Amino acid sequence: MQPHNTYNTMSSHQSTEISGFIFHPWSWWCNSIDPKHQFAGALITVSALVLVIACHAWAKINSRRPALPPGPRGLPLVGYLPFLKPDIHRSFTELAQTYGPIMNVQLGSKICVVISSPGLAKEVLKDHDVTFANRDTTAAALAFSHGGSDIAFNSYGPEWRMLRKVAAQEMMSSSVLDSYYELRRQEVRQTVRDLYAKMGTPINISNTNFQTTLNVVTSMLWGGSLDVDDRRAVGAEFEQVIQQVVELLSIPNVSDLFPVVAWLDLQGVVRRMKRLSKWLDRIFDSVIDQRTRLNGVEEKGKSKDFLQLLLKLKDAEDPKTPLTLDHVKAVLVDLVAGSTDTTSTTVEWAMTKLIENPEIMRKVQEELDEVVGMNDTVEESHLPRLHYMRAVIKETLRLYPPIPFLVPRTPSQPCIVGGYMVPMGARVMVNAWAIHRDPEVWDNPLEFRPERFLSTSSKFDFNGNDFRYIPFGSGRRVCVGIPMAERMLMFVLAEMLHSFDWQLPEGTKLDLTEKFGIVLKKAIPLVVIPTARLWNPNLYT
């Protein structure tokens, strides 16, 4: 019996040591419970230790992951919103000097990642183009675009590719645009006649060019569907709507910054945009109805137009990616809204800088006199030879990109840019305005000097192939309307500078203040007085 007792004594002693080792931190608890439950306690303790080790390992792994970009501190809930200045493009450019070319600015509950260098713009717009192919669409944009049925705000995918292909190949190809030249020519010449009749009186350049561009675009959209008088009446109604649409798209909306309260539409932005959308629908329905009734009468003198093309594609009913009536309307709105305000604003900035720099204006007019002549009017066939004029437009777009942050994008998955993590759903804003004025990229960046685009060996085209110069964006979501915008900018500006001399009204000063919005406009519109410069008065009438 002795060995048995000895064994029992030793087992009891060892058990006590083991229990003391495991439960020492909670010995007060272990001693107070029944011994038969001590195994359960041991299991809980071991599980707790495993959890602690796992948490430590997870924290260690997370410490190796890239952090969010640096940025300014904000306040709880509202973030940096209370500290933003009205000219956001300048405010973000100043912040980038402190926090670097990629920074995180918390606006409400929205993470905004701002890119301010060519190299990082390339990462977003080219290297990770597919990841950043979606737009960060606002509530106002969704209401305006039939829920994102257009090209500008549609999510990246088969539907967007179909719409993009229709616009690029069927509407913006060189051959198609060439076929509409006479329509553009008629509208631009009409503007010259109107200006000639108002010589000696102050002219609002922005309004004049907005109407010219609108007339050109609508004549291409449905010029074969409506008579001239009807088209101008529709154009006048469109002008009212489009200007209100652009204004609403520019308003910082609480619904976008605090999605949890979006359903309240506290500022009424969505309600107002829906009213404008219905207004546009009414116009489109009227025009489409007239086009439908005109089917088959083209041989009687009615020219073809974009609307006719889109309706034929809709009726074809592609089973994979069908083109619906909502798509047709949304694409038409894109073409009108995307071309009128941006084109008229760019022409206004160009005229402003030329009046500020009369020597540059003189060079432009000398080139026009040499290429076109003083006894002729500008034709699109002259444009390829107007090299200095093209440099003036490029320099204008450098200093005043129409959409200073391009159209914001959002990553479809977390992505590393510049060594920092850009989370899925963040608003990514490429600050083209800052990139175009970066002293590390451009010599004397604030100086208006068109010659920089004549002497450089780099090809600064409008397609965003060089990320130092991206006025229309880059990558697969680069502006689809570049071919038409390029022709319109050159043609309108050349005709205005060839046909007239321009001066400020007596006693007024040139104002260069910018007004930030989705389109970067002049705060005070340019008002100038035209005088005829061509020898033959018949060229105006």
- pLDDT of 65 higher than 80: no
Q: Helix, strand, coil: what percent of the chain each, to 5?
A: 60, 10, 35
Strands in 134-135's sheet, in edge-to-edge order, are 102-107, 110-115, 427-430, 409-410, 134-135
Residues 196 and 60 in one domain: no
Q: State whether 9 and 153 are in the same domain.
A: no
For the range 165-169, what are the long-range contacts, defined as Cβ-Cβ under 8 Å and sequence gap of 24 or more? 166/310, 166/313, 166/323, 166/331, 167/331, 167/334, 167/335, 167/480, 167/481, 168/480
Contact in structure between 364 and 169 (CB atoms under 8 Å): no
Which pLDDT does position 24 carry in this prediction? 44
Backbone angle region of 167, left / alpha / beta, with phi > 0 → left and psi within -120 to 50 → alpha: alpha
Predicted TM-score of the model (pTM): 0.85
Q: Is it the case that residue 21 has pLDDT exceeding 50? A: no
Indicate if 485 and 393 belong to the same structural domain. Answer: yes
Highest mean pLDDT among 62-66, 239-243, 523-527: 523-527
> Exposed (0-12), middle (13-18) or buried (19+): which is 127, by Cβ within 10 Å?
middle
Give the mean model confidence (pLDDT) for residues 490-518: 95
Say if 491 falls within a structural domain. Answer: yes
Residues 26 and 121 in one domain: no
Q: Looking at the structure, do residues 31 and 132 belong to the same domain, yes or no? A: no
CA distance 194 to 189: 9
- Pinpoint the alpha helices (H) of 24-87: 27-30, 38-64
pLDDT digits (tens, 9 = 90+) for 171-208: 889 998 998 898 889 889 999 999 999 999 999 998 89
Share of the chain above pLDDT 90, in %: 60
Asked if 382 and 101 touch (Cβ cutoff 8 Å), the reply is: no
Q: How confident is the model at residue 19 (pLDDT cuts 50, 70, 90)?
A: very low
Number of domains in the chain: 2
Same domain flag for 103 and 188: yes
Residue 75 falls inside a structural domain: no
For every residue of 424-472, DSSP letters joined together read TT-EEEE-HHHHTT-TTTSSSTTS--TTHHHH-SS---TT-SSTT--TT
Amino acid letter, 402: P
The two structure tokens encoding residue 230: 């009807």
The one-letter amino acid code at 2 reads Q
Examine residue 73 and state whether it is found in any structural domain, yes or no: no
- What is the distance between the alpha carbons of residues 78 and 83, in angstroms, rounded to a whole number? 10
Domain that holds residue 15: 2-64
Distance of CA 431 to the CA centre of its chain: 10
Handedness of CA 412, 413, 414, 419 (dihedral sign): negative
294 contact partners, CB below 8 Å, separation of at least 6: 224, 225, 302
In a domain, 438, yes or no: yes
